[in-house]
Amino acid sequence: MNRTDRLHALSEELRRAGSRGRTAARLAAWLEVSVRTVKRDVSALQQAGLPVWARSGPGGGYVLDAAATLPPVTLTPEQAAAIAVALATQPDGPFATDGRVALEKVLDVLDPGGRERVELLAQRVWVRTPAGQASGVRSVVEQGLSRRRVVVIGYRDGAGRVTRRRVEPQMLVRTGDHWYLIAWCLERDAPRWFRCDRVESAALTPEAAAERDPASFGTPPPDAHPVRPRRSPAHPAGRRLPGAAHPAGRRLTGAAGPAAAGTGSGADDDRGLAPVIHLRSAR
């Protein structure tokens, strides 16, 4: 999550907290940043005119003035529960952190009865997911994709060797049991598949990532599709997906792709059953 998105998320969390407020430590844990970063971000919000004030003493923290309210949203409890289920089944999926922020915003603008129904419905849907990729690494990859920037990654291959790669992110693809970053590797001057759970480090650079010819990444199989297809006559069913690639399509010579990555066998040991959202005390 970049700073602009973090400032927005911080203001929304303070809005949700209402008169109870939030401590800097709690906000830092929620945003996965340091307490110092939270204090700087709160100061930036105050300078921008957001009515945030500090409350001292035991249980004190930052409080947003009650005048700052959320606009209403029209969603049924079942629709909100569906969002919770989608996020819970892919906790390390693309933009999952932003998705959880969006879910909290949805929950907080429901009426008390609707909110309770969402949480009761979500308690009846359980998922079992493996330990995912570190959120900091995932966030950098997401920023590289959304901001079109070159990313420097430390990548561990199937043999355990770690190499440094400068890559231009093009797509994030889910196939089999894994997420993959499809990127143009500047070291190899060729397209590559990088299994996301093997990306051990990532750093965003100011260098712009070039737009690559989608054909260089292969042709996807007929059942592959974007998570949100464009509803436009210019995008008929069956058209090649921009920038897509898949092991069932054209083979990428030397690519670190799903065919070579393997499925792994130890992930089940790190899995735990949990509800899609946790019940929280009434406001």
pLDDT digits (tens, 9 = 90+) for 124-170: 888 777 665 567 888 899 999 999 999 999 999 989 999 999 999 99
What values do phi and psi take at 132, rounded to 5? -100, -170
Lowest mean per-residue pLDDT among 39-43, 52-56, 59-63, 138-142: 59-63
> What per-residue confidence (pLDDT) applies to 111?
77
Residues 189, 159, 224: CA angle, nearest 5 degrees: 60
Report pLDDT for 132: 59
Query: What's the CA gap between 242 and 135, in Å, rounded?
Result: 27
Mean pLDDT across the chain: 76
* Residue 79 confidence (pLDDT): 84
SS (H, E, C) 209-242: CCCCCHHHHCCCCCCCCCCCCCCCCCCCCCCCCC
Residue 249 has pLDDT above 90, yes or no: no
Higher pLDDT, residue 226 or 37: 37
Confidence band for 70, pLDDT divided at 50, 70 and 90: low
pLDDT, position 36: 92
**Helix segments in 24-147, DSSP class H:** 24-31, 35-47, 77-89, 96-108, 112-122, 135-147
Amino acid 105 reads K
Q: Give the pLDDT score at 108.
A: 77
Residue 224 sits at the vertex; the CA angle it makes with 147 and 122, to the nearest 5 degrees, is: 80
CA atoms within 13 A of residue 126's CA, in its CB half-sphere: 6
Q: Is 208 helix (H, G, I), strand (E, B) or coil?
A: strand
d(CA 173, CA 196): 10
Would you state the pLDDT for residue 175? 82
pLDDT, tens digit (0-9, with 9 covering 90-100), for 184-207: 999 999 999 999 999 999 999 999
Name the most confidently modeled range: 117-121, 215-219, 270-274: 117-121
Asked if residue 230 has pLDDT above 80, the reply is: no
CA 147 and chain centroid, separation = 14
With cut-offs at 50, 70 and 90, classify the pLDDT of residue 229. Answer: low
pLDDT at position 264 is 33
Per 3-state DSSP, the chain is made up of helix, strand and coil in percentages (nearest 5) of: 35, 20, 40
- Averaged over 218-238, what is the pLDDT? 60
Is 180 or 76 the better-scoring residue by pLDDT? 180
- The full set of domains in the chain, from first to last, is 3-64 (1.10.10.10), 77-130 (no CATH), 135-268 (no CATH)
